[in-house]
Amino acid sequence: MTDTATLEIQPGQLFIGGEWQDAASGETFDTINPATAEPLTHVAAAAADDVDRAVKAARTAFEADSWQKLDARKRGKLLYAIADKLEERADELARLETMDNGKPVREARMIDIKESIDCFRYYAGWADKISGDVIPVPGPYLNYTRREPVGVCGAIIPWNYPLQMAAWKVAPAIACGNTVVLKPAEQTPLTALELARAAAEAGLPAGVLNVLTGFGEPAGASLVNHPDVDKIAFTGSTAVGKIIQKQAADTLKKVSLELGGKSPNIVLDDADIDAAVKGASMAIFYNTGQACTAGSRLLVHEKIRDEFVEKLLKRASGFVPGDPLDPKTRLGPLVSAEQLDRVMGYIAQGKSEGAELLLGGDRVEVNGKAGYFLNPTIFGDVESKMVIACEEIFGPVLAVQTFSDLEEAIQIGNNTEYGLAAAVWTRDVRKAHHAAHQLRAGTVWINTYHNLDTASPFGGYKQSGYGRELGRYALDLYTQVKSVWVNLG
Ligand code: ADP
């Protein structure tokens, strides 16, 4: 059924200054296949001295004439070449991502890998279009601005979309002329190493991209604390985002944070119910609910609640956990034993707080292995104050609430410390836009869910973070503006 055997997974080293190296300590750690709970391979465990070597390599590369004076168009060509290298190996990368993360291989190929390639091509196109302005100042002066790179950028990314999160940071950073030290999540280090390989094969100068596998502490924290890192771009939990912002204050690094969410998915009584049912199940079960934009709070108008929930349960039952390497599988395992425990803890809490368990809530065995599989889970009768309605679960667990009018739905929707995404389903164009404007979230979907495109900005309101990735907006994260005055008098 699966083709695991065709992919030989090598142990991983750190990629520093264009060379593969062991960690200075010689330490390594295993990366686990969540579908089997067995190790795939081991990779180097970076610590503070490795971070220091990587930052030095990135600084040297940043200051080198060969990078500073490289035509912007040639930077773009390097990014196109990285995209080509990734594309040549897209199927293999998809299987690797699936084995490391557990996501269904079909989604890994059609979304993660495809969108990563697209991201490199998109920012390749931007490299020679990053320009300043001429400002009409008074007096005999010419005043113009330059958009200069920030310098050495530290990118710390999570495990839910490993290669894609790397692409979202590395591609715009390089397009803008920065150099990067990338630290993938300890759960999913393998495709970041393949990105390093692709970059080397594409001819990216040594030190422009460095990849350090390792844990949040010490590898991530050392990167945040390092005095010669100019910027940290982080995607991950709100808790760690807060730590990073505090730690970065000591060296006044620029920080951009893309954090958690508890996104409301609002279905009005005039909605196309079948479309909304389909959207609601995809909103929560896609990537096993391990998406920061997961539609984890379903707010349904009380008039249509029973019909809606009946249809939703039927559809959700179709998400049968299975071997993620099987192209037919739509629901893979959770990423780790730790994550499974966390999610099971939330399910127990939902039950004890009095929410009604309508579906799932239990683990499943797939292929006779101890993988981290969980059935799609839906709670009804959820109240706003319950923990399962407030905290980000990051698993296939949906909390269903009801409301009686649009204003109440918006109020419940906004009643969260997060503000990453929201959705509204209605046939009334005025209600749709009213909701879109009132919902305090960085992305609002109308009659759809989970759309993303490299060209469209992505980021959070409130405690979902700040800064906008993707699109031309990401160029603001990776450039700083210089104002130049010339006396013409
Ligand atoms: P999750 O809870 O989803 O695993 P985290 O926010 O813990 O997400 O992790 C996201 C990324 O942040 C990972 O690469 C992780 O290693 C890193 N990380 C965790 N703790 C720290 C820290 N104190 N400083 C810097 N990076 C960290």
The b/e string for 54-73 (b: 16+ C-beta within 10 A; e otherwise) is bbbbbbebbebeebeebebe
Q: Name residue, tokens 């096993």.
A: 288
Place of tokens 């997961």: 294
- Strand stretches in 140-292, DSSP E: 141-149, 152-156, 179-183, 209-211, 231-235, 254-258, 264-267
pLDDT at 6: 55
What's the confidence (pLDDT) of residue 8? 80
Domains of the chain: 14-259+464-484 (3.40.605.10), 264-454 (3.40.309.10)
| CA 304 – CA 402 distance, rounded (Å) | 9
Q: State the closest ligand 1 atom to the C-alpha of 214, by its place in the atom list counted from 1.
A: 16
Looking at the CA of residue 160, tell me the nearest atom of ligand 1.
3
For residue 393, what is the enclosing H or E element? none
Q: Where are the alpha helices (DSSP H) in 89-184?
A: 90-101, 105-107, 114-126, 162-175
Cα separation of 345 and 341, whole Å? 6
Q: Which residue has the CA at smallest separation from atom 14 of ligand 1?
A: 185
Pocket of ligand 1 (CB under 6 A): 156-158, 183, 185-186, 215-217, 220-221, 224, 236-237, 240, 243-244
The helix (H) or strand (E) run that includes residue 135 is: strand 134-135
For 358, the 3-state DSSP assignment is strand
The owner of tokens 């993620």 is 324
Instruction: Give me Rg for the CA atoms of the chain.
Output: 23
Rounded CA gap, 405 and 318, in Å?
31
Q: Which atom of ligand 1 is nearest to the CA of 158?
A: 10
How many angstroms is it from 184 CA to the middle of ligand 1?
9
260 alpha carbon to ligand 1 midpoint, in Å? 12
Known active-site residue 292: yes
Residues 6+ apart with CB under 8 A from 95: 3, 4, 7, 105, 108, 325
Q: Which of 97, 115, 186, 258 is an active site residue?
A: 258
Is residue 8 classed exposed, middle or buried when 0-12, 13-18 and 19+ CB atoms within 10 A define those classes? exposed
Alpha-carbon distance of 264 to 212, in angstroms, equals 36
Alpha helices in 257-362 (DSSP H): 273-285, 305-317, 337-352
Ligand 1 mean position, distance from CA 240 (Å): 6
* β-strands 28-33, 38-44 pairing: antiparallel
Q: For residue 227, how far is its CA from the centre of ligand 1 (angstroms)? A: 20
Q: At 448, which amino acid appears?
A: T
- Is residue 232 within 8 A of residue 252, CB to CB? The reply is no
The CA 238 to ligand 1 mean position distance, Å, reads 10
Catalytic residue among 292, 391, 392, 469: 292
Catalytic site includes residue 119: no
Q: How far is CA 200 from CA 58, 170, 207, 265, in A?
A: 14, 14, 10, 43
Q: Three-state SS for 113?
A: helix
Pocket-testing residue among 29, 156, 341, ligand 1, by greatest number of atoms within 8 A of Cβ: 156
Helix (H, G, I), strand (E, B) or coil at 288: helix
What's the pTM value of the predicted model, to 2 decimals?
0.97
**With the CA atoms of 82, 88, 89 and 94 taken in that order, what torsion angle do they form, in degrees rounded to the nearest 10?**
90
Residue 467 Rama label (left phi>0; alpha psi -120 to 50; beta): left
Residue whose C-alpha is closest to residue 87's, from 209, 207, 79, 155: 79
* Spatial CA neighbour of 115 closest among 168, 192, 170, 77: 168
* Nearest ligand 1 atom to alpha carbon 223: 25
Residue 5: what pLDDT?
46
Closest ligand 1 atom, residue 185 Cα: 14
Ligand 1 atom 18 nearest Cα = 216
What is the residue-level pLDDT of the chain in tens, covering all 489 positions?
444 445 789 999 999 999 999 999 999 999 999 999 999 999 999 999 999 999 999 999 999 999 999 999 999 999 999 999 999 999 999 999 999 999 999 999 999 999 999 999 999 999 999 999 999 999 999 999 999 999 999 999 999 999 999 999 999 999 999 999 999 999 999 999 999 999 999 999 999 999 999 999 999 999 999 999 999 999 999 999 999 999 999 999 999 999 999 999 999 999 999 999 999 999 999 999 999 999 999 999 999 999 999 999 999 999 999 999 999 999 999 999 999 999 999 999 999 999 999 999 999 999 999 999 999 999 999 999 999 999 999 999 999 999 999 999 999 999 999 999 999 999 999 999 999 999 999 999 999 999 999 999 999 999 999 999 999 999 999 999 999 999 999
Task: Give the Å distance between the CA of 69 and the centre of ligand 1.
Answer: 35
Q: Whose CA is nearest to atom 17 of ligand 1?
A: 216
* Best probe residue, ligand 1, of 51, 222, 224, 240 (max atoms within 8 Å of C-beta): 240
Predicted pLDDT of residue 282: 98
Ligand 1 atom 16: the closest Cα is on which residue? 216
Tokens of 143: 């005043």
